[in-house]
Amino acid sequence: MQSLLACSPSAFITRSHRQPYRPFAAYFLTRFGGLSRREAARHLGVSSGPAVTQQIARYGRMIAQSRRLKNVAKQCEAALKDAASGVA
């Protein structure tokens, strides 16, 4: 599978101004990973479920403002839906 957001695992637990990694991870962990916001918070190294809610809101703003990130989000969703349905 092609890497859509190439980064190191530490990018998800490190605070980085205007980086899409944490918002994307928060959204996809809760939407497709079956995690609660509290569980996602533990994986992402944020303080609480409400912090994940803020990251998810940030995800929405980021894809609304950036055509590139919106396309990446669509590709991620398609790949995860295909993986969930067993399509290779």
At 36, the pLDDT band (50, 70, 90 cuts) reads very high
**What would the DSSP string read from start to end of 44-76?**
HT-S-HHHHHHHHHHHHHHHHH-HHHHHHHHHH
Measured CA to CA, the distance from residue 74 to residue 88 in angstroms comes to 17
Q: Is the confidence at residue 26, as pLDDT, over 50?
A: yes
Whether 7 maps to a domain, the answer reads no
Q: Is the confidence at residue 66, as pLDDT, over 80?
A: yes
Number of domains, the chain = 1
Look at residue 35 and give its three-state secondary structure: coil
Measured CA to CA, the distance from residue 43 to residue 55 in angstroms comes to 13
Q: What is the pLDDT of residue 1?
A: 42
Q: Is the confidence at residue 61, as pLDDT, over 60?
A: yes
Count helices and strands (H / E) in the chain: 4, 0
pTM over 0.85? The answer is no
Whether 8 maps to a domain, the answer reads no
Q: Are 24 and 10 in contact (CB under 8 A)?
A: no
Whether 11 maps to a domain, the answer reads no
Domain hosting residue 75, numbered range? 19-82
Whether 13 maps to a domain, the answer reads no
Whether 26 maps to a domain, the answer reads yes
% of the chain exceeding 90 in pLDDT: 58
